[in-house]
Amino acid sequence: MSGQNENFKVNVTSEIGRLRKLLIHSPDSGIGKVVPSKAQDWLFEDIVHLDTIRKDEYDYYLKLLMYFLDPDKIKGKLAAIDSEAANRGFYKPNHPNFHNSANVIEVQNLLADILKDEYIRKKLTAAVCAIEGCTYKLQLKLSSTEPKELAEIFISGTMADDTMIFAPIPNLIFTRDVGTTINNFVLLNKPAKKARVRETMLMRYIFFNHSFFEAYRGNVLEIPDPTQHFLRPGDEPEFRTTLEGGDVMMVAPNHVLIGVSERTSEEGANEAIKLLFENNVVEKVTVVKIPAKRDYMHLDTVFTQVKRDTWVILHSIAHSPVYDANEPIHFLKEPEKLETTTALQFHKNNPGQPKVFEHVEALLDDISRNDLGSKTPTQVIYSGGNVFPYDSREQWTDSCNLLAIKEGIVLGYDRNDKTVEAFKAKGFNVAKVKDFIADLESGKIDPETVTDTLILMPSAELSRARGGFHCMSLPLLRDDLVY
Ligand SMILES: NC(=[NH2+])NCCC[C@H](N)C(=O)O
């Protein structure tokens, strides 16, 4: 894939413009190595069945992306691609028949590309071995391993003979979290969780060394730690700057949202805002503070955008506290226990005087109407139709974490029944991905003309990894919205 850097463009100005290029990572064998005792440390809620997550779930995601982003590789060829004789070669990064799309880009292959350079291979091997505590002998062995094999080892933690040498990084399927494209800049993450450290390092090497990103090297932003962090006593994470991509949303060309959450610290948001303003990347950054808890780990777990005038959100995050401000409980509970969510908007020219939004829904309405020029009333679809307990059950299985492949065409899990009903009530078509793909292949559906559809993706295994399709995508290029 190296050498294809002419015309390689990085530019994302919204959450919903037609998707043209993205980074993904298909479930690798490391996911099949998650053991119950480590599942929580590795940020999975359960162990998953590798074969099912690939063949019956993720492969459909890949196919769908191909029809929209690289149709020549799939249209008219589906039967052959999925034949038994093909043995899923199209889906396996190291297989000779791998799709090798330059639009639906597999991280593992970018990693293999940069590892062809001996200097980079040695440096990155030393870095991986340092964080994983490998022996020097193993480091030497890895340095002379063939690039494609080495890329697989770095990701899965497993040698070709199936020996595990360090932990896998099973969360790499959630490419969203490793960085965010903001206009033609990339803001790299600074992970809060140890389980996500190696992924970030691999991505850092890719963005700074792969020929695809050559023209953008000066536009890769990294978040430093402030001096207070190094000088603090003990091991407390105080002052640590953390920021994960799921907390960063590129909602309009001049406007980014940053969630302060379980994963992104106030300090992380602070450094990110300074970087974005100093580099003239955007004019406005709105910080949305959400309760720091596992269920809401990132901002994109509580809302995502569907169309310029439509959002899907968890009601308790959308609005001010459910308690009546006149009830005694309002005064008795700590503000964070009331699940309040605040939104503070900082402007480049006047960062000292942030604008306060009463609640998140007011912010989303402002984005739709004022940033995106929507002339229609802003529509909000609530997780689980805003009916307890379906609202929180379905949020937990990513009802609010949708990926728009173009405005109004969104991918979500097939298990969130009440949310699906809420989409239907707002006039959306709902299609099972298998049927949708059959219609794309037969030509009954045309990616250019299809409108307002929630595509339901199989989710039994994927949802145990605790993320949806928004998390499983790192958009690099989207068409600008036409106003
Ligand atoms: N953008 C997201 N919401 N990503 C979800 C990440 C899920 C992953 N298991 C984690 O806990 O880190």
CA–CA separation, 6 vs 87, rounded Å? 33
CA–CA separation, 466 vs 42, rounded Å? 11
Residue with tokens 């929180």, as numbered in its chain: 392
Q: Which pLDDT score is estimated for 235?
A: 61
Residue nearest to atom 5 of ligand 1 (CA): 467
**Degrees (nearest 5) of the Cα angle 55, 203, 481?**
80
Q: How far is the CA of 465 from the centre of ligand 1 (A)?
A: 8
CA–CA separation, 67 vs 62, rounded Å? 9
- Asked if 374 and 368 touch (Cβ cutoff 8 Å), the reply is yes
**CA-196 nearest atom, ligand 1:** 12
Residue nearest to atom 10 of ligand 1 (CA): 43
Q: Which pLDDT score is estimated for 1?
A: 47
Q: Which pLDDT score is estimated for 2?
A: 46
Q: Give 72-121 pLDDT, tens digit per residue.
A: 999 999 999 999 999 999 999 999 999 999 999 999 999 999 999 999 99
Q: Which pLDDT score is estimated for 331?
A: 76
CA–CA separation, 121 vs 115, rounded Å? 5
What are the start-end ranges of the H helices in 82-196? 107-114, 118-132, 136-143, 147-156
Read off the pTM.
Answer: 0.95
**CA-177 nearest atom, ligand 1:** 1
- Cα torsion angle, 277, 281, 286, 288, sign: negative
Q: How far is the CA of 73 from the centre of ligand 1 (A)?
A: 30
**DSSP code per residue over 34-54:** --HHHHTTTT-SS---HHIII
Q: Ligand 1, from 23, 45, 171: best to mutate by most atoms within 8 Å of Cβ? A: 171
Residues 6+ apart with CB under 8 A from 335: none
Q: How far is the CA of 326 from the centre of ligand 1 (A)?
A: 37
DSSP category for residue 461: T
Residue nearest to atom 11 of ligand 1 (CA): 43
Could you report the average pLDDT of every consecutive run of 10 residues in the chain (483 residues)?
Answer: 70 98 97 90 92 97 98 98 98 96 98 98 98 97 98 97 95 97 97 94 98 97 83 69 96 97 94 97 97 92 98 90 69 67 94 93 97 97 97 97 98 98 98 98 98 98 96 98 90
CA–CA separation, 453 vs 411, rounded Å? 9
Q: Ligand 1, from 53, 242, 298: best to mutate by most atoms within 8 Å of Cβ? A: 298
The ipTM of this complex is 0.97
Q: Which pLDDT score is estimated for 326?
A: 78
**CA-193 nearest atom, ligand 1:** 12
Q: Which pLDDT score is estimated for 238?
A: 67
Ligand 1 pocket list (CB less than 6 A):
43-44, 171, 174, 176-177, 246, 297-298, 300-301, 401, 465-467, 471
Q: How far is the CA of 292 from the centre of ligand 1 (A)?
A: 14
Q: Which pLDDT score is estimated for 251?
A: 98
**Amino acid residing at 479:** D
Residue with tokens 């998650």, as numbered in its chain: 34
Q: Which pLDDT score is estimated for 229?
A: 73
Q: How far is the CA of 440 from the centre of ligand 1 (A)?
A: 30
Residue nearest to atom 12 of ligand 1 (CA): 43
- Cα torsion angle, 288, 291, 297, 303, sign: negative
**Partners of 474 in the beta sheet?**
23
**CA-465 nearest atom, ligand 1:** 9
- Asked if 356 and 343 touch (Cβ cutoff 8 Å), the reply is yes
**CA-467 nearest atom, ligand 1:** 5
Residue nearest to atom 4 of ligand 1 (CA): 471
